[in-house]
């Protein structure tokens, strides 16, 4: 098993070619596979087809199919980087995945959409002061830009430009569907632009990240963690008086889901919605939109 540690060295070859989050997932998944092999007295690299099948079947209970597939892709990547005979393309692997998929008849779990009426309620409960200014901007900007949470917290001040009509033009430089950073342009309302203006006035112009932590009333010049978005949404839902079963359905992805549902309910077609949110796949977008009418908030009846 002398080759076991080599995959860590080879993985470094991917630095700069893949997003840090992708590399983190590769590393974590390969460790899981390596640990499983050691537990069962199996050579991890190169592995055997039967070992990979057994690993996938043992990982499947309690995990989403997408997670099981990610374990497979990470194992495949490790073999390729090590230039070893790759067992992960064998037909038995495909059969194992089909068996796992058929056993998981539940539909993919979808985050609850943070629709415009939820947004209004969440904006109302933000505290006075700089944290409240930042929170309002994050919620409003995340909704109108249709951003994933990673793209939202990665925004920098120079990506935001005030237009003559009082709205903002924002360059989103990188996203999940844009690994090479070609970017896309998105636009905001005048109200969201005013939130941004209030925030920039408090924090000053010479800070690179658009969003950053605040400690004892002072700016900490680094980007927020993506978990901050999820925490903000859930805490806002709680403060707005929503029941726990509703709060639990929100996630860091809820802004993007709710914004797409809002456009559909407003009469925009699929092409316009895909353009607004930078979607490349109609299938992914359709999962967001299928609960659009169900997720439209009816007001105080759900409080």
What is the DSSP annotation of 76-143?
A: HHHHHHTT---GGGSHHHHHHHHHHHHH--SPPP-PPP--HHHHHHHHHTPPSSHHHHHHHHHHHHHH
Co-location of 162 and 296 in the same domain: yes
**pTM more than 0.95:** no
Co-location of 93 and 152 in the same domain: no
Give pLDDT tens digits for 107-138: 556 788 899 999 999 999 999 999 999 999 99
pLDDT of residue 300: 38
Q: Where are the alpha helices (DSSP H) in 146-253?
A: 149-153, 190-203, 227-239, 244-247
- d(CA 138, CA 210) in angstroms, rounded, equals 9
Would 81 be classed as within a structural domain? Answer: yes
Sign of CA dihedral 285, 231, 159, 145: positive
Co-location of 280 and 172 in the same domain: yes
Co-location of 278 and 146 in the same domain: yes
pLDDT of residue 301: 40
Considering the chain, what percentage of its residues have pLDDT values greater than 70?
A: 88
Co-location of 95 and 127 in the same domain: no
Give pLDDT tens digits for 219-268: 888 999 989 999 999 999 999 999 999 999 999 989 988 888 888 888 88
Would 1 be classed as within a structural domain? Answer: no
Would 61 be classed as within a structural domain? Answer: yes
| 298 pLDDT higher than 60 | no
Domain count, the chain: 2
Q: Where are the alpha helices (DSSP H) in 209-269?
A: 227-239, 244-247, 254-265
CA distances from 191 to 71, 135, 142, 194, 268 (A): 44, 14, 13, 5, 21
Would 293 be classed as within a structural domain? Answer: yes
Of 103, 131, 165, the residue that ends a domain is 103
DSSP secondary structure code for residue 223 in this structure: P
Would 110 be classed as within a structural domain? Answer: no
Give pLDDT tens digits for 14-58: 998 888 888 999 999 999 999 999 999 999 999 999 999 999 999
Give pLDDT tens digits for 146-173: 988 989 999 999 999 999 999 999 998 7
Q: Which domain holds residue 75?
A: 6-103
Co-location of 164 and 191 in the same domain: yes
pLDDT of residue 5: 53
Which CATH number do you get for residue 283?
1.10.443.10
- In this prediction, residues 176-203 reach a mean pLDDT of 83
CA distances from 177 to 21, 111, 147, 278, 280 (A): 14, 19, 11, 8, 7
Co-location of 135 and 230 in the same domain: yes
């Amino acid at each position: 098993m002398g080759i076991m540690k080599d995959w860590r060295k080879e993985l470094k070859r991917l630095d700069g070619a893949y997003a840090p989050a992708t590399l983190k997932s590769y590393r974590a998944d390969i460790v899981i596979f390596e640990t499983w092999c050691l537990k069962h007295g199996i050579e991890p690299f190169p592995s055997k087809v039967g070992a990979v099948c057994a690993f996938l079947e043992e990982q499947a209970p309690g995990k989403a199919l997408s997670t099981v597939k990610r374990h497979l892709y990470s194992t495949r990547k490790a073999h390729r980087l090590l230039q070893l005979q790759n067992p992960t393309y064998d037909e038995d692997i495909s059969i194992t995945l089909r068996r796992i998929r058929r056993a998981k008849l539940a539909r993919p779990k979808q985050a609850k959409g943070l629709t415009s009426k939820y947004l209004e309620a969440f904006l109302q409960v933000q505290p006075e002061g700089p944290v409240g200014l930042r929170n309002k901007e994050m919620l409003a900007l995340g909704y109108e830009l249709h951003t994933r949470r990673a793209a939202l917290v990665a925004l920098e001040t120079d990506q935001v430009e005030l237009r003559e009509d009082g709205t903002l033009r924002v360059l989103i430089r990188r996203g999940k569907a844009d690994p090479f950073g070609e970017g896309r342009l998105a636009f905001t309302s005048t109200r969201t632009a005013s939130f941004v203006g209030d925030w920039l006035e408090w924090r000053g112009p010479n800070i690179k990240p658009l969003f950053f932590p605040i400690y004892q009333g002072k700016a900490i010049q680094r980007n927020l963690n993506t978990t901050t978005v999820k925490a903000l949404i859930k805490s806002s839902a709680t403060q707005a008086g929503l029941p726990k079963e509703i709060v639990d359905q929100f996630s860091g992805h809820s802004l993007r889901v709710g914004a797409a549902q809002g456009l559909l309910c407003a009469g925009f077609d699929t092409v316009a919605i895909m353009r607004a949110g930078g979607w490349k796949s109609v299938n992914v977008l359709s999962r967001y939109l299928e609960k659009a009418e169900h997720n439209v908030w009816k007001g105080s009846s759900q409080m």
